[in-house]
Structure 1
Amino acid sequence: MTHFDGTALQGTEKFIPPRLLDFLVQLEATTTTEHVWDLIVGLARDLGLTVVDYVYATDFRNWEQAQFIRTTIDSRWFDDLRRFPHIRYTSAFRMHGCRYLTPIMVGEEYLDEMGEISGDRRRHVRIGAEMGMRAGISIPLRIGDPGQAALITLGGDLGRADLAALAARAGLVSAPLLRAHGDDLTVFLCTGDGKTGTEVRRPGTSPPTAAE
C-alpha cells in the first residue's frame, strides 16, 4: 500500500485498522466530490452500515438558507419532510451539529438517553428508524468560515449491542473493554461484516458472603 504519490506507508502510519487505512489512502487521491462520496458509502457498506447521511449548510444561522443533503436513505424520507417541513428544526444537525463538535449517538435505540425531548423530535427519530436508521453515530464537521457547518451520520437497522459487537470484531475496541461496560455500553463505533452481533453483558458477580 502506498500514498497517492507512490511513497510507501511508514510503520508509524499503520496503527489503525487496515480497512480504515486503505480508505484514507484512497481518499488522498480523490479529485471529485462524487469520488469522495463513493468512498464514504463504500466504506460504510463494507462495515455493515446501510445508512450514510451528510448535511451541509453555508449559513446554519439562517433558517431559510439552503442546505445541501446527500443521503442513502430512501426517497420516502422527503415525503415526510414535505409533510412536516418543521422537522428540520429537530434534526441532529440543527440541534447539535451546528453548535458542538462532540459526536453523538442517534436513533430510536437511544431515545431513553436523550432526556426530555419534544414530541416533534421523538417523531423525527421514529421516522428515521422506519427508514432504516435505528442506531448510529453523528459526527459534526466544520469548514472554517463562520456559519458553515456539516454533519455526517453513519448507522443502520442495528441495536446498541450490535454496534458494540461490530466494533469489537473490527478491532476498534477490545472485548474486555466491552465486557467491562456491560449493559451500560457507550462504545458505538460502527463497523463489521453486517451480521447481527452477540449481545455482551456485564459479567455476573456473586453476592458477598455474610460475615460469621
Structure 2
Amino acid sequence: MSTSPGSRSGPVATERLTAWFAPVVADAGYDLEDLDVRAAGNRFVVRVVVDRDSGVSLDDVAEVSRALSDVLDAEDDDLGRSPYVLEVTSPGVDRPLTLPRHWRRNVGRLVTTTAVGEQLVGRVVSVDDDGVVLAVEKGGAKKGQVRKPAGNRTLTWAELGEGRVQVEFNRPAGHRDAHLVHEGPDEGPDEGSDEGPDDTDDDLDADDELDAAEGEQ
C-alpha cells in the first residue's frame, strides 16, 4: 500500500486519521487510546494504541490492524502516495492512568499517584463513578525495603492525579497480571519503577508482550 499522511503530517493528519479510525476501533469493541503520525525518512509511521476492559491479545492487535489497513486503502486518494508503516499496539505499563477506564482496567495492580499534593503508593481495590479506593502502603522507599499496609483510602476523581503502574517482583495472591511480575529469588519484596529495574535482564513490559503489528504497505 502506498498511502500515507503525505505532507499533511502532524496535528492535521492525526485529526483526520482519528476521525477515520475511531468509529472502526469502537465498532470492533476497543477504545482508541492514542494515535500518532511521524515522519521516518521517506515514509510515515502511523502508530495506534487500542485497549479494552478484557485486555488486548496478539490476535486482537492483528484484527484491528487489518481493519485499519482497509480504512487506509479506502481513503488512499485523500492522503497522498508516500509509503507508510501502520503499527497497532496495546498500552504499555508506562502509560499514565488519566481516565476512569484506565484505573478500572488496573484493579488489583500496584500504582503510584498524587492525591492533593501527597505522593501515594497503593493497590487499586475498586473504581466507581465517584473515584478510586486504594489500599495504601507506607515505607519501602529504598530498594529491598518492605512496604507495610496503611489502610484503604477513598479518593475522588477531583483529588486524584495521574497514576503509574508499578512492575512487581513478588506476585500477590490472586494477581491477575503474570506478565507484569518477575518472580525472582526469595530476597523479600522489591518494587521496581515503571521502567523496570536496571540490574536484571528480565525487564518486563506489556508492550513487549503485545508487540506492534506492523505492515510495510
Q: Which has the higher strand share?
A: 2
- Normalising by structure 2, we get a TM-score of 0.23
- Normalising by structure 1, we get a TM-score of 0.23
Q: Which has the higher helix share?
A: 1
